[in-house]
Amino acid sequence: MKKFSTLLFVIIIGSLASYSQYIDPDTVRIHLITPREAVYLQSKYVQPETFYPEISAKAMDIDKKEHLRAAELAIRLKKIMDAKSLILNIAKIPNDTLVMDSSSGRYIYYPFRNAPEIYLERVGSKWKYSRSTCDQIDIIYDKLYLFHLNHFVEDLPHFFRANIAFGINVWQLTAFIVLLTAGFIVKKLFSYLGRLLCNKIFGRTRYKLFFENHILKNVNTLSTILGLVLIYILLPNIELPVKINFVLSIVFKGLIPLFATIIMFRMADYISERIQRKRLEKQNKVHENFLPFLRTTFKVVIVTIGLLFILVSLGVEILPLIAGLSIGGIAIALAAQETIKNIFGSITVFTDRPFDVGDWIIFQGGEGTVEEIGVRSTRIRSFNNSIISVPNGKLMDMTIDNMGRRLYRRYALNLEVDVNTPVELLETFIEGLRVLILQHPITRNDLYYVYLVNMTSAYFQILVQTYFVSEDMDGEYKAKQIFLTDIIKLARELGIRFALPAQSLQLHKAEPEPEFIPADPKEYKRKLDHFFESRKADSGSEVIE
């Protein structure tokens, strides 16, 4: 009895299974009252487990001339959806009878945002894939499927048509590996030919360094893009399952604009180098200040545009995203007020130019030489050789004393001469100091002061004030050195003794100071003339570059 029951159960299950494998198209109830019913009917009966394309075609408004090809058109429409990675979400499709498109005012429904050429239209009381969609099926199919592999696959041994996993057959996996290999070969071939061609063009010219630093890397990246494009174009011919194809298409759609962004990112460095070269040729400090900011701005803009292209290629709608970001941007802007202030401070630095790179500036809290003007902050090298980073927003609110913008560099010196110096010798020394200023290679001849300004019991004080014509601190220090050495030489020639500090006076009290023996003023004049004649014989003062 048990054996009989088991046999009967197996027969019933077997009959039900055999019945489920066959569907009579004439017995299928077709309503198509709503867009959801039309989409469901068309997609259901072109699946491997329920493959009845003649039923699927009933949800399509096919022209009478193409009626005999209805099943073929239904199959092609399904393959187009798979190739374009158009995944249907039946639950989100409207289930109402009247669905109107707001832009056209017609009863039209677009199931895919990134494929507007495929849409449904209400024909009479039924919803079907529109006549326009059906008329374009062959055109779209031929663009996507460059190789018709149907007959080739049918002639393959059963092993190659066997399913591996996730609906992928052996021949599809093999074809995908061959396609990847072809893309790699194309990448290598174009990379070799591109390098060979560019080497012929730039290799023996003054652009050889430019070729090695910029063109060579970009040729390799461009070859990679060509290989990816080849794989992406030929991928639909493998007829992978729609979900697998969707993942692969996302990968290739994202990689292609990503590598293009990398090329543009590298070109930003090249543009910056060109601007730097022009700056060196023209000696323009504006470019030197603007270069770090410009390079960073270029890269930020390129990365932003690259991300937008990647999102567009992946089918993401940019306008709603930008609208969402603009709302969130208000909160971000409130939280990043200091950062935004610093960015605008950078713009002020470049437009108003209160200082340049290399200028010695004095500001609230320190002083030093400007090394770099960045997007957010300015880096200043202090005289202790440390780096001071000051936010540009705060720096623009400070009072800045730009010592690097001085047209003339004032130099004041107080010479304390021994109080025992004869008046005639003192006057001769003062006259000699004035001549030194006039003969100095980079001092102003029209503005200087050399006078006896003070007298104490220990010394006579002579004020020496002049102005050096120098563009930088190095030139100023060289000018000071020449001027001071000339003063020392003049003092030794005339026999001038400078006053000792108070500490030295205490040490030398026990030793009597030798008294000055007054001489004929003509002797002082002779020594002064001899000093300057000897200077002329030595070709004058040192030349300052």
Report the DSSP beta bridge partners of residue 454.
461
The residue ranges of every structural domain in the chain are 28-144, 168-334, 335-404, 410-537
Confidence band for 109, pLDDT divided at 50, 70 and 90 = very high
Q: Tokens representing 119?
A: 């849409």
Mean pLDDT, rounded, for 287-314: 72
Q: Measured between alpha carbons, how far is 373 from 346 in angstroms, rounded to an integer?
A: 8
Q: Which residue has the tokens 């990847």?
A: 180
**Amino acid present at 460:** F
Q: Tell which residue, 38, 57, 35, 56, has the closest CA to residue 47.
A: 56
Q: Measured between alpha carbons, how far is 378 from 366 in angstroms, rounded to an integer?
A: 13
Residue 451: predicted pLDDT: 92
Q: CA–CA distance from 431 to each of 410, 439, 528 (Å)? A: 20, 13, 9
Confidence band for 19, pLDDT divided at 50, 70 and 90 = very low
> Long-range CB contacts (< 8 A, 24+ apart) of 171-174?
172/238, 172/239, 172/240
**pLDDT by residue (tens digit) across 473-494?**
788 888 889 889 989 988 888 8
Between these two residues, 283 and 320, which has the higher pLDDT value? Answer: 320
Q: What is the CATH number of domain 335-404?
A: 2.30.30.60
Whether pLDDT at 542 is above 50: no
Which of 22-26, 306-310, 357-361 is predicted least confidently? 22-26
Q: Measured between alpha carbons, how far is 131 from 61 in angstroms, rounded to an integer?
A: 5
Mean pLDDT, rounded, for 78-89: 86
DSSP string across 385-453: S-EEEEEHHHHHHS--EEGGG-SSEEEEEEEEEETTS-HHHHHHHHHHHHHHHHHSTTB-SSS-EEEEE
Whether pLDDT at 18 is above 60: no
Whether pLDDT at 114 is above 70: yes
Q: Tokens representing 454?
A: 């003070």
Averaged confidence pLDDT in the chain:
77
Confidence band for 417, pLDDT divided at 50, 70 and 90 = very high
Between these two residues, 379 and 535, which has the higher pLDDT value? Answer: 379
Confidence band for 194, pLDDT divided at 50, 70 and 90 = confident
HEC string for 247-296: HHHHHHHHHHHHHHHHHHHHHHHHHHHHHHHHHHHHCCHHHHHHHHHHHH
| 410-537 under CATH 3.30.70.100, yes or no | yes
Residues of the chain above pLDDT 90, percent: 10
Mean pLDDT, rounded, for 369-392: 82
Which of 7-11, 70-74, 505-509 is predicted least confidently? 7-11
Confidence band for 461, pLDDT divided at 50, 70 and 90 = very high
Confidence band for 15, pLDDT divided at 50, 70 and 90 = very low
Mean pLDDT, rounded, for 502-519: 52
Q: Beta 459-468 vs 409-418: how paired, if at all? A: antiparallel
Whether pLDDT at 272 is above 90: no
Kindly state the DSSP code that residue 160 receives in the 8-state scheme.
G
Q: Tokens representing 472?
A: 């930088």
Q: How many residues does the chain have?
A: 545
Report the Cα–Cα distance between both ends of the chain, in Å, rounded.
119
Between these two residues, 148 and 240, which has the higher pLDDT value? Answer: 240
Residue 453: predicted pLDDT: 92
Q: Tell which residue, 142, 154, 167, 182, has the closest CA to residue 240.
A: 167
Residue 445: predicted pLDDT: 82
> Long-range CB contacts (< 8 A, 24+ apart) of 162-165?
none
Q: Measured between alpha carbons, how far is 78 from 144 in angstroms, rounded to an integer?
A: 12
Kindly state the DSSP code that residue 451 receives in the 8-state scheme.
E
**Amino acid present at 267:** M
Whether pLDDT at 458 is above 80: yes
Q: Which residue has the tokens 């949800």?
A: 59
Residue 462: predicted pLDDT: 93
Q: Tell which residue, 50, 53, 58, has the closest CA to residue 29.
A: 58
Confidence band for 450, pLDDT divided at 50, 70 and 90 = very high
Residues of the chain above pLDDT 70, percent: 74
* Cα-trace Rg, the chain: 45
